[in-house]
Amino acid sequence: MSSKTDIAVYRLCILTLAVLLGGIVMGLFVWFPYTYMGMGEKYFEFLPPVWRHPPFWDCFWLSFLLMQFRNILGRVVIKKKKKVLR
């Protein structure tokens, strides 16, 4: 029974790393052009300065939460489609 537990913990660690790395990559794709390249200044001058220059970790958590929301919403939609098809 120990090996099943070890495999489950291993899979959970891999899944967690994949989600966190995905959040970091998506955070970079949002943060770099928006802050460093000045898209926030150019296209969103009506926003307060705090929102035009967000820190990287705020972009990371925003991307992470959006990915999780997309995954949860996708599962709900798939379940509803399966019920309709039955």
List pLDDT tens digits, range 31-79: 888 888 888 888 888 988 888 888 888 888 888 888 878 777 777 776 7
Joined together, the tokens standing for residue 45 give: 């001058």
**Region of 55 on the Ramachandran plot (φ > 0 left; ψ -120 to 50 alpha; else beta):** beta
Q: Tell me the CA distances in angstroms from 19 to 16, 39, 40, 47, 56, one per residue in order.
A: 5, 26, 26, 30, 17
Cα–Cα distance, 27 to 32 (Å, whole number)? 8
pTM: 0.59
Joined together, the tokens standing for residue 58 give: 């705020």
pLDDT attached to residue 71: 76
If one compares 3 and 65, the residue with the highest pLDDT of the two is 65
pLDDT band at residue 2 using 50, 70 and 90 as cut-offs: low
pLDDT attached to residue 14: 83
